[in-house]
Amino acid sequence: MKQVKAILNVILVTALAAGTVVLVAFLSGRNSGEKDYRSPTLFAMDTTLEITIQERDRESSEADVDACVALVEELESNTSRFTGGSDVWLVNSNAGQSPVAVHPETLEIMRRSLEFSRLSDGAFDITMAPIAGLWGFYDRNYRVPTPEEVEAARSLVDYGQVLLDEVNQTAMLAQRGMEIDLGGIAKGYTVGAMCETLRNRGVKHGLVNFGGTVGAIGSRSDGKPWSIGIRDPRGEACDLLGKLEVEDAYVSSSGDYERFFTRDGKRYSHLFDPHTGYQPTGLLSVTVVGPDPVDADILSTTIFVLGTERGFALLKVRSGYEALVVEADGAIKMTDGMRDRYVTEVRERL
């Protein structure tokens, strides 16, 4: 496969079980022959990317992965808040001043974000960047801010001040100092785009694992579903609390174990409640399965903020999605559909 700047290393992670993915951390496919291909571990959008393709010759599979990498690089160049000249960088730089022309993909990501902001009464909000930056999750100079600092940053969080003009393809933040971060949705959008690319290229059996968002194309080549391992949020990276089986579906996981720091024995994660400016404390992790990667990605984050009862109620508004949560006391709860359709084994509690 062509070398790309996005490559962090070329480590192929050892499979825990045949055809099993450990959500967020590992990915593997069946190791049954020359027509099973697994990409090197790539790095993009601040996370890892691995792609498994079955029933394709190696040359075609490598070209498939190259096409996906090119797609990821293009989308990242438009949606990264850290890349000078990107759509997001320009929108943030012009907050309170003027609208900015953005790519159609960026506009679509923002439009769908605002749709969920309205559905969740603001539990999902792409204008959370001032809060995340205050706590040090951008420069990694982690700190616990004062209540006054949190309140000042929270005054800049308001999805209602994100102004989209779909006719002129522009976006704008109404207030100076506001910033957006599309990290909570761009990954899901990118997984969907990669899976569509692979299908269009003739892939019938494939798996895309992009840092906790997984896209399953068809079944495995032996006709069995793909097996997805759900990580234990308080265990090591290879520790599982359960397994799912999926075909032609998307799985997304969010939790306080992904990015966090500790102070005085307390864990502070990168997931925030937009209404308070602080981390939610009711859940340790959320896993969502459904037919669309963007919805699954947003729902996993939104349910983490809302908690079990309100989060599961939100699922009723978006039919076709099921969820499993790990609560702060170690209890594991799931929707009926998750238990009946996807879960093959799971612990009762941590």
CA distances from 179 to 125, 155, 237 (A): 11, 12, 32
Strand partners, 163: 172
The pLDDT > 90 percentage for the chain reads 83
- Give residue 321's pLDDT: 97
- Give residue 137's pLDDT: 96
CA distances from 24 to 14, 213, 235 (A): 15, 7, 13
Report pLDDT digits (tens) over 56-84. 999 999 999 999 999 999 999 999 999 99
Cα–Cα distance measured from residue 120 to residue 112, given in angstroms and rounded to the nearest whole number: 12
| Core vs surface per residue 191-217: b (16+ CB within 10 A) or e | bbbbbebbeebebebbbbbbbbbbbbb
CA distances from 333 to 191, 224, 228, 303, 330 (A): 26, 26, 17, 12, 10
- For residue 45 the two structure tokens come to 């959008």
* Statement: residue 145 has pLDDT above 70: yes
Half-sphere exposure of 334 (CA within 13 A, CB side): 27
Residue 242 CA, distance from chain mean position: 19
- For residue 121 the two structure tokens come to 């009464």
- For residue 344 the two structure tokens come to 């093959």
* Statement: residue 21 has pLDDT above 70: no
Neighbour tally for 347: CB within 10 Å: 13
Report pLDDT digits (tens) over 163-213. 999 999 999 999 999 999 998 799 999 999 999 999 999 999 999 999 879
- Give residue 65's pLDDT: 96
Q: Where in the chain is the domain with CATH 1.10.3980.10?
A: 87-173
Q: Which residues contact residue 249 at a Cβ distance below 8 angstroms, ignoring those fewer than 6 apart?
A: 216, 289, 290, 291
Closest to 104 (Cα-Cα) out of 81, 124, 83, 74: 74
Closest to 205 (Cα-Cα) out of 325, 303, 64: 64
- Domain 87-173 grouped into CATH 1.10.3980.10: yes
* Statement: residue 295 has pLDDT above 90: yes
Give the start-end residues of each E strand in the chain: 20-22, 36-38, 42-44, 47-54, 100-101, 162-165, 170-173, 205-210, 213-217, 226-231, 240-246, 250-255, 260-263, 266-269, 283-290, 322-327, 332-334, 343-346
Cα–Cα distance measured from residue 245 to residue 63, given in angstroms and rounded to the nearest whole number: 28
What fold does the segment set 20-74+201-346 form as a domain?
T-fold (3.10.520)
Closest to 93 (Cα-Cα) out of 178, 184, 164, 153: 178
* Statement: residue 34 has pLDDT above 70: no
* Statement: residue 16 has pLDDT above 50: no
Cα–Cα distance measured from residue 234 to residue 231, given in angstroms and rounded to the nearest whole number: 9
- Give residue 238's pLDDT: 87
* Statement: residue 252 has pLDDT above 90: yes
Neighbour tally for 34: CB within 10 Å: 8
Asked if 266 contacts 142 with a C-beta cutoff of 8 angstroms, the reply is no
* Statement: residue 29 has pLDDT above 50: no
Half-sphere exposure of 161 (CA within 13 A, CB side): 20
Strand partners, 228: 21, 244
Output phi, psi for 50, to 5 deg.
-135, 140
Strand partners, 349: 331
Neighbour tally for 147: CB within 10 Å: 9
* Statement: residue 6 has pLDDT above 50: no
3-state class (DSSP) for residue 349:
strand
Q: Which residues contact residue 215 at a Cβ distance below 8 angstroms, ignoring those fewer than 6 apart?
A: 191, 192, 194, 195, 207, 208, 250, 293
